[in-house]
Structure 1
Amino acid sequence: MGCGEHKEKSNGLWYVGVILTVVGSICTNMGVNLQKFSFMREAKGRSVGDKRGYFRQPLWVIGLFLVVGGSILDFVALGFMPQSLATPVGGSTMVANVAFASLLLKEKFTKSDAIGTALVLLGIIVVAIFAEKESACYTVDELIALYREPLFAVYATLMGVSCLTLYLLTKKMELTLKQKGRMSPEYQRFRKLHPVSYPALSGIFGAQSVLFAKSMAELMKTTIEGDNQFVTFGPYAITVSMLTCVFLQIHWLAHGLQKFDAVFVVPVFQCFFISISIFGGGVYFKEFAKMAPLALGMFSLGALITISGVVKLAHRDMQKLSPMRRLRAATMMLVFIHRSQKARNLKARWAKNPSPSETAEFFQQHNHQCYLSVMKELLR
């Protein structure tokens, strides 16, 4: 294993990797919030039957290009520093997330958001100070040998089982929500898990994409030094694996943003993405073995501070309505009831509360225009 002079140059330019990672994180986050904004505008401006898929929404596509551009910058940054340093620095996206969500999506910036953001920034500073700065070069054979390590086999098995379990749970929760409804006892059991499942899947796949991207960056460094690594099947298999994980990351993140708040989805995604990326880089590239005990302890502390800030940002009420909006929604619901009774030639009167099944049957049999007006008011 060796890169010659290029190794010394790349080790001395680790700060370039930090800058590229921060810029890439901002681009990625702006793209994600543009995608969420596109979903919100689509929900408000179109009826259920006229809604477009996310690939047919121009703003979503622009957001996708920003996400891809940010990912490219992250990929280039991996050539200048170890994966265990690159991923925590990428947590700087939380600062941009809160700013974009507040300005673009009109989501409220709270005291809890400020504390979480401060923790993320503090953690990144600690990580940047104590992280291993050396970034080695590898050949294809050396990377394949690392994939065959017993410890990495355990890591890969754990990731595979986690993804399969989350996928099956997500499909079960979606089916329960569709068949039983949001307020049903069956769905209430999954109420807190459902919004976590999408960004968790996205974060796990995203972490694997970083692992494959780091491998590709190392192969390109070795190739630049004159030892061409792209003459065997290995690099192309790594490329396909990386692109597959990137697609799955975007896919599950898009589903999460369609259903839940960006200020919740993005922090949960980052929490899984950061922690698993650090763990994966440490296991695969054995980056922790190169660190002194004190540096490893402080690095771990910085990573925990970063993750705690992300968790702090994730602990917020979703879809919380102000008293005035509750009053407007209740008023519109009364208007809806009155118009529905008038349409059926019934006098407006108070009656006993209908059962959930009776309410569902009523909505299926009658015009939904007033009901949709109420829902638009709730989502406005």
Structure 2
Amino acid sequence: MLYYFCTALLKSCITDTDCWSINRPDIHSLYCVDGTCQKLLGPGENCIKPSDCASYFYFGPLACSAKCRAESECDKIGIIQITSKYCCRPVPEERECLPNRPNLLNGCNVKNSCVMDENGTFKCKSGNLNDWIYGMILSISGNLGINIGINLQKKSYKQPFLAMLNMKINTLSFGALLYAIGKILSFAAYIYGNQSLLASLSAFGLISNSIFAPLINKEIFTYKDFLSIVFVLSGSSIIMANSGRSNKVYSLCQLLKMYTTYENMIWFFSLFFLILVLYLVVKYVEVNSDWSFPDDKFDFFKRENVFYEDTSITLKYLMLLFYVGISALIGAFTSLFAKSFGEMLEKTIAGDNQFVFAVTYFFFFLLVTFTFWQIYWLNRALRHYDSLLTLPVFHAMWTILSMLNAGIFFSDFEYFSYNQFYGFGLGLGVIFIGSFFLASRVKDKDKVKVLKIETKIVIERKED
């Protein structure tokens, strides 16, 4: 048997068909490389020499020169032994590929497919071209439910119960239910789309918020709200247009390897450190203002010579950023766990059951836990600030963090072109412009309050 295998490997050839013993080759078949039949390795797989790689026809001697990523240590059954520090390079997007070879061996990256363009040439193009549409629909629907739910939770502070269908419904519970449904739809979207794309799509939630906040909570919608939404939505759309639409499916082994890389560990530590710092700052301000809770365990922060008035810059501006910042930082973890759990769910649907591993349930536990704390801190902001102000600020922060999360953890930036990086930076700049209109809205809110008080005094005097 070994004799025949070695003979096949040394068999001379001109085309791939000279090496095939079957009509429909697969990734285990032999292919013709430099006149010899041999097995090939796909992009990202550990290699020893350039001719081992499926992209050898394109890169030549540079085919085996890519830096191996953490998930390269995994194959379909688990951990594999690394024999070299180099891995096979993928053919860049929009470059020619070999359509007669199966996926993973046609030269394209796993996120791309070898398809024919309008000129009849086969090139590597973004794969899963239809899946991202399902992700978009689920994401927009989820954001609609989330925004209605948040506004109802905001309303519960003033109106604990709603009258619907001759029944008395708890406003907070009903809002939480709609929020949960919206979150489930949003999490389901991660099965079909990559994180950077879905983070940008959440901007459409701002449009629904501009409608439901005035309807549900009687908040005043000004031209500055409109301009802020236009800029934030435009910036997110620019980012979305420059993000990849393809979606790579990772195994549990690959996900765990990615979580333990040096770069990702530093990123996670930075996020946790920022959460801790913001939390301590929030507690310090709260115990030294009228926003403190009874029997607060952080009363030791209280200072006799320090007190923050409601009209102070700290309570008017900074506390909004602190509350929303904590929620957005936790939300970055939430979206990461949602994407990870979605990956395992998609593998299970495809027939590779991931629920036989205890760590799958641990991911689900983390997803639920971080979602709860994300909602909690967002509601802390809604308790003191309008949703027309809170949600756009949260969206801007969460979008930026989620995009960075996707770029660092899932390496969404790895194959970005110069134009895509330029579009990403431009989109962030446009989002920041929108945030200036949100900041000025706080000043307008104070003017509206003063006007209402003065109007009320005038009316009372007339009645007297």
TM over 0.5: yes
Shift of 1:307: 4.9
Shift of 1:251: 0.9
Equivalent in the alignment of 2:289: 177
Equivalent in the alignment of 1:50: none
Counterpart pick for 1:127 among 228, 234, 239: 239
Deviation per CA, 1:244-301: give whole Å up to 9, x if none.
1100011111222122221222222212211111111111100110222212321332
Equivalent in the alignment of 1:23: 141
Q: What is the CA–CA distance in structure 1 between the aligned matches of 2:345 and 2:440, rounded to whole Å?
A: 41
Partner amino acid, structure 1, of 2:307: E
Counterpart pick for 2:389 among 244, 247, 264: 264
Aligned residues of 1:92 and 1:120 also touching (Cα < 8 A): no
Shift of 1:320: 4.1
Equivalent in the alignment of 1:146: 258
Equivalent in the alignment of 1:166: 278
Equivalent in the alignment of 2:85: none
Tell me if 1:111 matches 2:111. Answer: no
Equivalent in the alignment of 1:327: 454
Task: Pick the structure with more helix per residue.
Answer: 1
Higher RCO, 1 vs 2 (CA within 8 Å, ≥6 residues apart): 1
Shift of 1:27: 1.2
Task: Pick the structure with more strand per residue.
Answer: 2
Aligned residues of 2:333 and 2:370 also touching (Cα < 8 A): yes
Deviation per CA, 1:105-158: give whole Å up to 9, x if none.
221111111111222332233233221111111111110110111111111111
Counterpart pick for 1:80 among 181, 189, 192: 192
Shift of 1:86: 0.5
The 3 A distance-change label for structure 1 pair 75 and 328 is same
Partner amino acid, structure 1, of 2:182: G
Indicate the SS of the match to 2:217: coil
Q: What is the CA–CA distance in structure 1 between the aligned matches of 2:232 and 2:410, rounded to whole Å?
A: 25
Tell me if 1:210 matches 2:335. Answer: yes
Q: How does 1:339-358 map to 2 (within 5 A)?
A: none
Shift of 1:64: 0.8
Tell me if 1:14 matches 2:132. Answer: yes
Deviation per CA, 1:38-73: give whole Å up to 9, x if none.
212259x9xxxxxxxxxx981111111111111111
- Provide the aligned C-alpha RMSD in A: 3.0
Equivalent in the alignment of 1:186: 307
Shift of 1:329: 5.5
Counterpart pick for 1:296 among 409, 413, 421: 421
Rg larger for: 2
Task: Count matched residues.
Answer: 320
Percent of residue pairs bearing the same amino acid type: 28
Shift of 1:22: 1.4
Q: What is the CA–CA distance in structure 1 between the aligned matches of 2:399 and 2:432, rounded to whole Å?
A: 8
Q: What is the CA–CA distance in structure 2 between the aligned matches of 1:66 and 1:271, rounded to whole Å?
A: 22
Partner amino acid, structure 2, of 1:242: L
Deviation per CA, 1:166-221: give whole Å up to 9, x if none.
1111111111113999xx96314632322222222111111210000000111111
Q: Which moved more, 1:296-305 or 1:64-73?
A: 296-305
Partner amino acid, structure 2, of 1:142: Q
Deviation per CA, 1:291-341: give whole Å up to 9, x if none.
22212321332344245435533541245435552225557999xxxxxxx
Shift of 1:14: 0.8
The 3 A distance-change label for structure 1 pair 323 and 158 is closer
Equivalent in the alignment of 2:122: none
Equivalent in the alignment of 1:220: 345
Indicate the SS of the match to 1:186: coil
The 3 A distance-change label for structure 1 pair 321 and 124 is closer
Q: What is the CA–CA distance in structure 1 between the aligned matches of 2:185 and 2:343, rounded to whole Å?
A: 15
- Any unmatched runs of 5+ in structure 1? 46-55, 335-380
Shift of 1:87: 0.4
Partner amino acid, structure 2, of 1:316: R
- Any unmatched runs of 5+ in structure 2? 1-74, 77-102, 105-109, 114-126, 163-167, 293-301
